[in-house]
Amino acid sequence: MARRSAPPAATRARRPPETRPAPPVARTAPETRPVPPPAAPTAPAPKTASAPVYEVFPPQEIERPQPKPVVPPPGPLPRVAIIIDDIGYDRELVRRFLALDVELTFAVLPFSPFQQSITADLRREGYELMLHLPMEPVEYPRIDPGPGALLDRMEPDELIVQLQRNLDSLPEVRGVNNHMGSRLTAHSSRMYQIFSVLKKRGLYFVDSRSTADTVCEPSARLFQLPFAERDVFLDHVVEAEFIRAQFRRLVKEAQRSGEAVAIAHPHDLTVRIFAEQLPRLRGAVQLVPASAIVRIPGGS
């Protein structure tokens, strides 16, 4: 017998699903990161650094043991080399010396703060460079000649290694002069060690004559090293009238001997008096680099 199908179940109207309010979502405050303060304007690169003691000057003028020989100048005017010592600590003063637009030689202290940028400027302008070699003075250790100094207590190999490092830091130099050095330049054995290196490198030496006991000239003669000596310090007394008098003395020395070597330092007053004296200098002498003055002592 056929089964009867069950009557269809009554259909119920469907209710929309009950909507329950969603549980509140915990909101986290947006992460706040500290806002950096606005960048300070870039400060210009410093142009100066704390300068060392520029020199230990002798208490009185050092007389030569014998008169300086007369060297007839090749042209109508006697020749003068002006060396600006202690370069490396003040870029602005170097630029002011360059603005004079005259032939100068710049002696750079090794490992000085602005050594690289200053020497780049000087090379670009075609100026002659020297290593201003720190050497022990009799006042050491009360007065320190600074980084790269050659000291009397050093073993020979140690002294030569330090000298090589100093020279390697300034590969563009044509020559060397002493920074201080009143003790070391009076010792023949030390000067032999130094000059043996300079001879191999083809460099000249200018004795700043910081002591009457210097043995640099006979040592240079022994090594057949191109050599000259300082005749005049232009500004070891930093007073306007004194510096003017030293420029007059420089001209007289050049006219008497045919040539002369002067040393000056990076002082504001020196630049100002130099600019003032230029017209007289240009009419009385020919300014040349130090390499034009040096010669082997005792040679023709």
pLDDT digits (tens, 9 = 90+) for 96-106: 999 999 999 99
DSSP assigned state of 22: P
User: Which regions of the chain are under pLDDT 50?
Assistant: 1-37, 39-41, 43
* Structure confidence at residue 9 (pLDDT): 37
Q: Are 98 and 121 in contact (CB under 8 A)?
A: yes
pLDDT tens per residue, range 166-213 = 999 999 999 999 999 999 999 999 999 999 999 999 999 999 999 999
pTM for the model stands at: 0.82
pLDDT at 274: 98
Which pLDDT belongs to residue 201?
98
Specify the pLDDT at position 281.
97
Residues 6 or more apart whose Cβ sits within 8 Å of residue 97 = 84, 104, 106, 266, 271, 274
Query: What is the structure's pLDDT at 147?
Result: 97
Residue 228: φ, ψ to 5°: -150, 170
What token pair was written down for 245? 């008098």
Q: How many residues does the chain have?
A: 300
Q: How far apart are CA 299 and CA 47, in angstroms?
A: 43
Classify burial at 160, counting beta carbons within 10 Å of its beta carbon; exposed 0-12, middle 13-18, buried 19 or more. Answer: middle
Per-residue pLDDT, 58: 65
The pair of structure tokens assigned to 41 is 């304007």
**pLDDT computed for residue 63 by the predictor:** 67
- Give the pair of three-digit tokens for residue 291: 């390499």
Taking the C-alpha atoms of residue 159 and residue 196, their distance in angstroms, rounded to an integer, is 12
**Residues 118, 263: Cα–Cα separation, whole Å:** 19
Instruction: Give the pLDDT confidence score for residue 65 in this predicted structure.
Output: 66
Q: What is the domain partition of the chain in residue ranges?
A: 79-292
Amino acid 23: pLDDT? 43
Q: In CATH, what is the architecture of 79-292?
A: Alpha-Beta Barrel (3.20)
pLDDT for 26 equals 41
Q: How many CB atoms lie within 10 A of CB 107?
A: 27
* For helices 188-201 and 156-168, angle between their N-to-C axes, nearest 10 degrees: 40
Q: What is the pLDDT of residues 26-45, one digit of tens each?
A: 444 444 444 444 544 454 55
Q: What is the pLDDT of residue 280?
A: 97
Residue for token pair 């005259």: 102
